[in-house]
Amino acid sequence: MDPAFAAGPETTMDLVPNDGTEWWVWPLALFVITFVMGILAVLGGVGGGVLYVPIISGFFPFHLDFVRGAGLLVALTGALAAGPGLLKANLASLRLAMPVALIASSCAIIGAMIGLALPTNIVQTLLGVTILGIVVIMLTAKKAEFPEVEKADALSSALRICGVYTEASTGQKIDWKIHRTPLGLSLFVIIGIMAGMFGLGAGWANVPVLNLLMGAPLKISVATSKFLLSITDTSAAWIYLNKGCVIPMMVVPSLVGIMLGSFVGVRVLKIAKPTFIRWTVIGILTFAGIKALTKGLGIELF
C-alpha cells in the first residue's frame, strides 16, 4: 500500500520526490500539459479539473491541497475562455444553465467545505467510483446525440427552456426542448456537492444529466455544461482561494495553458461531429476515473 494512503490526509500525496530539479521545470511542464488538457476539456464537455487533479497529483510534486485548488481554477478558467464563444454561437443556453447553476453553485460551496475536511484517500476513491459509474451510463445509452423529447415538462415550459441551433456538420436546424426538469435539477444538488468536494469541475456529471436524463442534444449539453462550470466552479474556487490553497507559480502556468487550449478547442467543437465528441468524453472520463480510483486505493497503476 502507498504509505501516503496509509498515513491519511495530512501526508504529502506526491509520488515524485524532490530530486533537485530546477524550480522552473515544473511550471513549464504544467503549461504544456494543461494546453493539451484545454483542447480535450472543451471537446469532452468536462472541466479541465477532472483531468488536471488526477494527472497533476499523480505525476507532479505538488500536494493535493494545491492541486485541488488549482484544479478548480483551471476548470473555471477553461470555462471562462470557452463561455463567450459558446453563448454567442447559441450552443450554450443561459436559460438552461441558470436554474441549474443556482442549485449547483450553492451546493459546490458546501461540497468544498466538506472536501477540505474529509480524508483525501476517501475523497479520491469516491471520485474514481463516481466517474467510472458515469462512463458505464454513457456506454450503455442508446440515443445521446439527439435524444427524443416528446413533450417538454411543465417546469421547463414555464421557464421557457428551449432553443434552436444549427448542427454545423450537417447544416440541419435542431429545435430542442427538455423534460424531467425537476429530477434533473435535484441531481445537481449531488453534482454541486461532489464538484466542490473533489476540487474539480463537474462536466463529467453535467453532460450525462443534461443529455441523457433531461434530453438536451449532445452539443447543447456539452456546451452548456462547459459554460455552467464557469458558475459552479467560481463558488467552490473561492472557498479554496480563501483557504490559501493557491500558489501562483502552480496556478498561472496552468490557467494560461488551459485557456489557450480552450480557445483552440472551441473552434474544433463547432465543426466536430457529435459521435466524435461522445467518444472523446468517454475516453477522457475512463482515464480520469481509473487514475482517481487507483490513487485513492493506494495502487500505483500508471
Partner 1 sequence: MEIKNNGVNEEQVVYAKVLEAGMYLGLAILFITFAIYIFGIMKPAIPLDHISTLWSQPVHHYLEEINHNFLHLEQGPTGWTWCTLLDKADFLNFIGIALLSGVTIVCFLAIIPVLLRKGDKVYATMALVEALILILAASGILQAGH
**Does residue 21 interact with partner 1 by CB under 8 A?**
yes
**Does residue 105 interact with partner 1 by CB under 8 A?**
yes
Whichever of 253 and 296 has its CB closer to partner 1, that residue is 253
Whichever of 103 and 284 has its CB closer to partner 1, that residue is 103
**Does residue 256 interact with partner 1 by CB under 8 A?**
yes
At 164, give phi and psi (nearest 5°).
-135, 135
**Does residue 113 interact with partner 1 by CB under 8 A?**
yes
Considering only residues 41, 56, 101, 123, which one is a binding residue for partner 1 as defined by CB under 8 A? 101
Cα–Cα distance measured from residue 206 to residue 216, given in angstroms and rounded to the nearest whole number? 11
Question: Kindly report the CA angle at 289 between 196 and 185, in degrees rounded to 5?
Answer: 45
Q: Least distance from C-beta 224 to partner 1, angstroms?
A: 11
Q: Least distance from C-beta 280 to partner 1, angstroms?
A: 24
Q: Least distance from C-beta 69 to partner 1, angstroms?
A: 8
Task: Show contacts with partner 1 in window 124-183 (CB under 8 A).
Answer: 159-160, 163-165
Three cell numbers written together for 45: 464537455
Task: Show contacts with partner 1 in window 34-93 (CB under 8 A).
Answer: 61-63, 65-66, 69, 73, 76-77, 80-81, 83-84, 87-88, 90, 93
Q: Among the candidate windows 42-50, 209-217, 254-262, 269-277, which touches partner 1 by CB under 8 A?
A: 254-262
Cα–Cα distance measured from residue 20 to residue 275, given in angstroms and rounded to the nearest whole number? 45
Q: Least distance from C-beta 237 to partner 1, angstroms?
A: 5
**Does residue 199 interact with partner 1 by CB under 8 A?**
no
Q: Least distance from C-beta 166 to partner 1, angstroms?
A: 9
The upper half-sphere exposure of residue 151, i.e. CA atoms within 13 Å in the direction of its Cβ, equals 2
Considering only residues 75, 193, 209, 250, which one is a binding residue for partner 1 as defined by CB under 8 A? 250
Binding mask 209-248 for partner 1 (x = CB under 8 A): ---------------------xx--xxxxxx-xxxxxxxx
Considering only residues 122, 139, 249, 299, which one is a binding residue for partner 1 as defined by CB under 8 A? 249
Contact positions toward partner 1, by CB under 8 A? 9-12, 14, 18, 21, 23-24, 26, 61-63, 65-66, 69, 73, 76-77, 80-81, 83-84, 87-88, 90, 93-95, 98-99, 101-102, 105-106, 109, 112-113, 116-117, 159-160, 163-165, 230-231, 234-239, 241-252, 255-256, 259
